[in-house]
Amino acid sequence: MPLVFARAALLAELARLVAGADVSELGFAARLATTEPEAADALAAFLARAERTQG
């Protein structure tokens, strides 16, 4: 998955889980997506599955 999509997917899932999160609080997600895009993609998918099973 391209870097931009990995970053966007991870940020979208984190924002969904923590609706009041400020962009400045999510800098770690950008760093993760930049250094490990596959891991960021996997984490976004995991968070999406976890949200669906809890909802």
Q: What is the pLDDT of residue 15?
A: 79
Domain housing 39: 3-54
pLDDT computed for residue 33 by the predictor? 78
Residues whose CB falls within 8 Å of the CB of residue 35, separated by 6 or more in sequence, listed in order: none
Task: Report d(CA 46, CA 44) in Å as an integer.
Answer: 5
Which tokens belong to 46? 């995991």
Q: Residue 53: phi, psi to the nearest 5?
A: -75, -25
List, for residues 4-55, the tens digit of each pLDDT value.
777 788 788 887 878 787 878 878 877 887 888 888 888 888 888 887 887 6
Structural domain tally of the chain? 1
